[in-house]
Amino acid sequence: MTNSHSEPIRGLYNDPISNRPPHRSYIQTALVVSIFTISALCINATQFILILLLPFNKRWRGIGTDYTKASFATLAGMSYI
């Protein structure tokens, strides 16, 4: 595959390991993991609170559960960014 100047396009996989950009640091990784875990626990706690506070009102409990499921889906989707 070539670009408009007839030079071969080089991918990152063609570079030697010493020339590749650095990966995330351990501090960034720990921060992302901790924020994700805390967020997931908050969403789960919200679901438990909805179950305990609204045991007989299935309509509102269903709305709250759907909202928290959407929140978790958003959280899971953002973790790949």
Domain span at 28: 24-78
Instruction: Classify residue 57 by its DSSP letter.
Output: -
**Cα separations (Å) of 1 from 15, 33, 58?**
17, 38, 58
Distance separating alpha carbons of residues 8 and 12, to the nearest angstrom = 13
Predicted TM-score (pTM) of the model is 0.63
Domain for residue 3, yes or no?
no
Domain for residue 8, yes or no?
no
> Which pLDDT does position 42 carry in this prediction?
95
Three-state DSSP class for residue 15: coil
Domain for residue 13, yes or no?
no
pLDDT along the chain (81 residues), means of 10: 59 74 81 92 91 85 89 85 57
